[in-house]
Amino acid sequence: MQESLSSFKKKTPEQEKKQKLLDNIKSKLLKELVCPLRDEANNLVFGKGNPDADILFIGEAPGEKEDLQGIPFIGRAGKELDQLLHSINLSLEDVYIANILKYRPPKNRDPKKEEIISHTPYLIEQIKAINPKVICTLGNFSTKFVLSKFNPEEMKKIDGVSELHGKPIDIKINKLNFKVVPLYHPAAMLYRPKLRGALKKDFKKINKVIKDVKKDES
C-alpha cells in the first residue's frame, strides 16, 4: 500500500500542494506508461516520504520486498538508510525516496534502456514537483543515470560513484537548478562494511549542502 501524506503529523499547505502534484503524476503514469514490467510486477512502487522534502533520494529500481508492498526502500537497505538519516538528526519521514524505475525488473536484473526511457519522464516530474534542495543518488546506476542525463560533461570525467561520493554537483532540469550528492547505496554496507564510515561522512555533508543552497536562495 502506497504511503500517503496522512502519515505526517502536520500537513503544511506546501505539503498538501506537492502531494496533489505527486498524486497526479502517479495517476498519469498508471494511465499512460507502456512497459512490459507492469505485467510481471506485483505493485507500482512510486515513492514515499515528505512531498516537501529538502532531500530527494533516487535509487535504481524496486527489489522483491518493495514490489510486494509497493513501498521503496524497505528491508535491510531501508533500515541502513534510516540509521544514516538518524545520524544527521533526520528520519525517513523528513525525506522523499523514489526509484528510476517504478516497477521491479524480473529477478532484480539491470534495467533495460527502453525501460529507463519509458520511466524517465515520470521521475523528472517527481523531481520538479518536490523541488528538493539536494538530490542524493544512491549507488552507481542512479548516479550515472542522473549525471549522464543532466550533466553529461561531468559524467565523462568519472567511472562511478567511488570517484564522486559526497561531492556536490550542479545539474539543471528544465531550467531548474539542483545540487546532486552521489552516495554509495546503503545496501553496499551489507557486503562491504568498510563503506559505513564513508557513508556516515557523506551524510554529514548533506546538511551543509542544504544550508549553502538556502543561503544562495536568500
What are the tens digits of pLDDT across the range 176-187? 999 999 999 999
187 with 77: CB under 8 angstroms? yes
DSSP H or E segment with residue 202: helix 195-217
Q: Work out the angle between the directed axes of helices 195-217 and 76-86 (0-180°, nearest 10).
A: 60
CATH 3.30.2350.10 fits 11-217, yes or no: no
Sheet strand arrangement including 134-138 = 48-49, 96-99, 55-59, 134-138, 176-183, 169-173
Residue 141's nearest CA partner among 66, 79, 63 is 63
User: How many beta carbons lie within 10 A of that of residue 69, not counting itself?
Assistant: 17
Tell me the per-residue pLDDT of 138-182, one tens digit each, with 9 for 90 and over: 999 999 999 999 998 887 777 777 888 999 999 999 889 999 999
Cα–Cα–Cα angle for 172, 95, 11, nearest 5°?
A: 110
pLDDT of residue 9: 64
**Length of the chain, please?**
218
Distance between CA atoms of 147 and 160, rounded to whole angstroms? 10
Q: Output the CA torsion 25→30→33→36 (10° steps).
A: 140
DSSP state at residue 7: G
What does pTM read for this prediction?
0.93
pLDDT of residue 1: 39
For the chain, the structural domain boundaries read: 11-217
Q: Which residue has the cell 562491504?
A: 192
Residue 73's nearest CA partner among 83, 192, 119, 116 is 83
Tens-digit pLDDT profile for the chain (218 aa)? Answer: 344 444 446 789 999 999 999 999 999 999 999 999 999 999 999 999 999 999 999 999 999 999 999 999 988 888 999 999 999 999 989 999 999 999 999 998 999 999 999 999 999 999 999 999 999 999 999 999 999 999 988 877 777 778 889 999 999 998 899 999 999 999 998 889 999 999 999 999 999 999 999 988 87
Dihedral sign for Cα atoms in the order 48, 53, 129, 185: negative
